[in-house]
Structure formats: C-alpha cells, structure tokens
C-alpha cells in the first residue's frame, strides 16, 4: 500500500496509526472542522463539495456522512469513489443501527438517519462490498473470491 486518505479524521486515530506504523505510506488526513485542522494538522476539506487531491489505495470515512443531508451525502460518496484506487473503509450508523445497536444517550443523535439500502445502493455504483465495512473499488486490481463478497 502506497497511500491512505482519512476523511473526517477528527483527532486522527487512523492517520496517526499509519504515520507511526507504516512510515512508507503517504497519508492525507482531512476534516471539515477548522478547529480539528488547526489542532491535529489535517487539510481542510468538505467531502460533500470537494474531491480530495490524489487517488489513494485506502480511503477511510468513519462517522461522517450522517451529518450531511441526502444530496450532500450522495455527492460525498461520489467524491469518496473518485479518491479511492482500491479499498474504502466506510462506517456510518443506519436507521437499523440507531434502533437496535446504538445507545442514543451515549451517541450524537442529531444526525440524518438513513437505511442501509440507501447507502449500499449508492456505494454499489462504484464498489463491491467485501464485508466488515470494506468496499473494493470496481476496476481495481483487487480480486475478491465469491465468498469474500457480500451477497
């Protein structure tokens, strides 16, 4: 792996791990928050309106798109796809998660809650779902065996 992009990096857990443990990997961390960028050294970027520079082997986008309305979230997925060479790790709480798994007293519940199908339908235009939050870019060099693909 040559490069990774951390979108909505916040305090930078993912990008910091790569900078510490995979020093040869080129890391770009971004956030929409001016404060987070200043404090943690990220590049300021709004994934809904801007395409990150470069194409990256791994793109990480955790707990970002739930803060965007439907139109902005759809644009963000297109921008994520454009920035992904091989694999996207994508995590976002869905309607089902909010009712079955998330303790709303411990989590920010002021979000746009969508179905898993809403996200999957848009992601499948660009990616093949490999499970565990991993989406492989269509046309990448990564080969998934039948049982590695979600059905």
What is the tens place of the pLDDT at every residue in 41-68? Answer: 999 999 999 999 999 999 999 999 999 9
Instruction: Indicate the pTM of the whole model.
Output: 0.95
C-beta of residue 38 within 8 angstroms of C-beta of residue 46:
no
What is the tens place of the pLDDT at every residue in 74-111? Answer: 999 999 999 999 999 999 999 999 999 998 888 887 89
User: Which of the four CATH numbers 3.40.50.150, 3.60.21.10, 3.30.750.210, 1.10.8.60 does domain 3-148 have?
Assistant: 3.40.50.150
Residue 109's CB is within 10 A of a number of other CB atoms, namely 13
- Burial class of residue 123 (count of CB atoms within 10 Å of its CB; 0-12, 13-18, 19+): middle
Domain residue ranges in the chain: 3-148
**How does strand 26-31 pair with strand 43-44?**
parallel
**Per-residue DSSP letter, 117:** H
């Amino acid at each position: 792996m040559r490069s990774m992009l951390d979108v909505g990096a916040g305090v930078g857990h993912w990008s910091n791990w790569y900078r510490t443990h995979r020093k040869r990997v080129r890391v770009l961390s971004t956030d929409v928050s001016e404060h987070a960028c200043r404090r943690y050294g990220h590049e300021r970027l709004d994934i809904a309106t801007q395409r990150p520079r470069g194409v990256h082997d791994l793109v990480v986008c955790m707990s970002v798109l739930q803060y965007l309305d439907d139109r902005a979230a759809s644009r963000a997925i297109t921008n994520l796809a454009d920035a992904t060479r091989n694999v996207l790790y994508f995590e976002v709480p869905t309607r089902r998660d909010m009712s079955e798994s998330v303790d709303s007293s411990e989590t920010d519940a002021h979000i746009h809650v969508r179905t898993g199908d809403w996200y999957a339908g848009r992601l499948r235009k660009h990616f093949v779902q490999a499970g565990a939050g991993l989406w492989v870019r269509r046309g990448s060099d990564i080969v998934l065996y039948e049982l590695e693909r979600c059905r």
